[in-house]
A and B are shown apart, each in its own frame.
Chain A
Amino acid sequence: MAGDDRVTRPSRSGIPMKGLFIGMWVTLKALFKKPVTVNYPLEKEIPVPRARGVIALDTEACTVCMLCARECPDWCIYIEGHKEEVPPAKEGGRIRTRAKLDRFDIDYALCMYCGICVEVCPFDALFWSPDYEYSEYQIDGMLHDSQRLTDWLATVPQPPALES
């Protein structure tokens, strides 16, 4: 009884091959519309401010804690550092030690833009920048050193104001 009702058949219009001609009307309309694509090298798409284009590094804020390198799923962050002694701030004080960053490289040939490093950084040393134009002819050019990562800092948008 209910057997036939449960079978969902594709709905058919009465006119055979009507769908073909509806399709032709669609493509004909599209033919005379303005294309939606952006003609890239000549005109550039403006990404949204919080787009994940490239990661910028603030070397002053980095404490060489290695959290980002350890959390990176692709292991594309390379960090090296050493401890150096800081003379005491006051006379007769104790000599302090401080971590010094020697190397901070991100290999964008490996990076999958997950942003875990940015989120995990406890000292706000890493930022997302919407800049996306850093393609290279050679793959080793995709390894950005700390200087290049610092340069990206200029393209990082201002964070929105805090709510009071």
Chain B
Amino acid sequence: MNFWLELVLKLVLILGLVVLPGALVVIFGELKISAHMQSRIGPYFAGGRWGWAQPLADGAKFIQKEDLIPAAADDSVYRLAPYVVLAGTFATFVIIPFGPDLVAADLDLGVFYLLAISSITTIGVLMAGWSSGNKYSLIGGLRAGAQLIAYELPMVLAVVAVAVQAGTLSLSGIVEAQAEMSIFGLDLHLPYLLTGQIVGFVIFMIAALAELSRIPFDMPIAESELTMGYLTEYSGLRFTMFFLGEYASMISFAAVAATLYLGGYYAPFVPTDALNVLGPIILVSKVAVLCFLMIWFRWTWPRLREDQLQSLAWHWLIPLALVNIVVIATFKAVL
């Protein structure tokens, strides 16, 4: 097939079938779940039943709003920032395998690419904070920078342990390694979460929450002190892009966590030749569970203070992740 045609096809498939509907579903889930956790009903009227069209209505409202640029803002950087955030988010989906053959690009250095590309979002956030010409935005952007540097490390170290156990950096390879897992000669076709990676999984999820700037790690947009942090000056379509990007990256981190720790598109007792059809469904259900977890955390837990946030990363998660690597590597060498 023509290279460019294939590229456009894959882009449209990933964006149109996975990212945008997924983000809308997660936004709706957040609205409804948060409402019921607070003993409310939540959206009810938009679209008829259950208020299912509420995210679409919100989007339509945001699009109609004026695209305001403050006089003190650095114009071109300010305009570019949301695109950088969205690009960083969407680029993660390229390597996530939805089935044995359903992957946009199976890179040999998949994990490396993933960790590199997910940091681009940070640059977008820093750009937004710096260019807004607003003290809240600037502090929010710098907090985001500090937070993402702090939590990038434990995340990388947690993923290193997975790469050590799987013996490959390709995400498809990691899924296959989980499907062919065997310890002590037993054929344990279990995901890594159940075969020694539980500490790594916890570290990865904490770091992912911090990278997403979600409660309990939402210091960059802490409303009570920074209005909306780096989002303060954004309105209209650009705000929508940040908003969509936030939820899309929630899905991407959930998908990565599902691939690395929960077996990705693989599930026990599912025939291997059916995985190309059932794989996406299995992966999406795992992603849904992880997204529910994140929403559940958000509507239960309080926000950490800035110094607590840093001390959690540097005093606890990084040493723990290093120990985790040593333990996993030892087991890998011994068994």
Contact = CB atoms under 8 A, between A and B. Distances in A.
Interface of A: 20, 23-24, 26-28, 30-33, 35-37, 39
Contacts of B297: 24
B67 to A, nearest CB: 29
A30 B296 contact: no
Contacts of A26: 300
Interface in B33-83: 33, 35-41, 44
A26 B296 CA distance: 11
B239 interface: no
A30 B41 contact: no
A37 B36 CA distance: 10
Q: In the A-B complex, list the 4 residue pairs whose CB atoms are closest, starting with the nearest.
A: A27-B37, A27-B300, A23-B300, A36-B39
Interface in B98-119: none
Interface string B296-311: 1101110000000000
B36 A35 contact: yes
A31 B300 contact: no
B299 A27 contact: yes
Contacts of A35: 35-36, 39-41
Contacts of B41: 35, 37, 39
A54 B128 CA distance: 50
Contacts of B296: 24, 27-28
Given A24-B296, A39-B44, A33 B39 contact: yes
A24 B300 contact: yes
Contacts of A37: 39-41
B29 to A, nearest CB: 12
Interface string B15-45: 0000000000000000001011111110010
A23 to B, nearest CB: 5
Nearest to B32: A31
Nearest to A22: B300
Nearest to A21: B300
Contact of A31 (B36, B44, B301): B36
A75 B326 CA distance: 77
A20 B301 contact: yes
Given A20-B300, A24-B296, A24-B300, A30 B36 contact: yes
Given A24-B296, A39-B44, A30 B301 contact: no
B328 to A, nearest CB: 24
A30 B44 contact: no
Contacts of A33: 36, 39
A133 B299 CA distance: 33
A31 B37 contact: yes
Nearest to B35: A35
A39 B43 CA distance: 11
Nearest to A36: B39
Nearest to B301: A20
A30 B37 contact: yes
Contacts of A23: 300-301
Contacts of B300: 20, 23-24, 26-27
A154 B182 CA distance: 81
7 contacts: A20-B300, A24-B297, A26-B300, A28-B296, A30-B39, A33-B36, A35-B36
A26 B44 CA distance: 24
Contacts of A36: 39
Nearest to A41: B45
Given A35-B40, A39-B44, 12 more contacts: A24-B296, A24-B297, A26-B300, A27-B299, A28-B37, A28-B296, A30-B37, A31-B33, A31-B36, A33-B39, A36-B39, A39-B41
A30 B34 CA distance: 10
Contacts of A39: 41, 44
Interface in B266-310: 296-297, 299-301
A139 B33 CA distance: 37
A36 B33 CA distance: 15
A32 B36 CA distance: 7
A36 B301 CA distance: 22
A35 to B, nearest CB: 5
B103 to A, nearest CB: 34
Contacts of B299: 27
Contacts of A20: 300-301
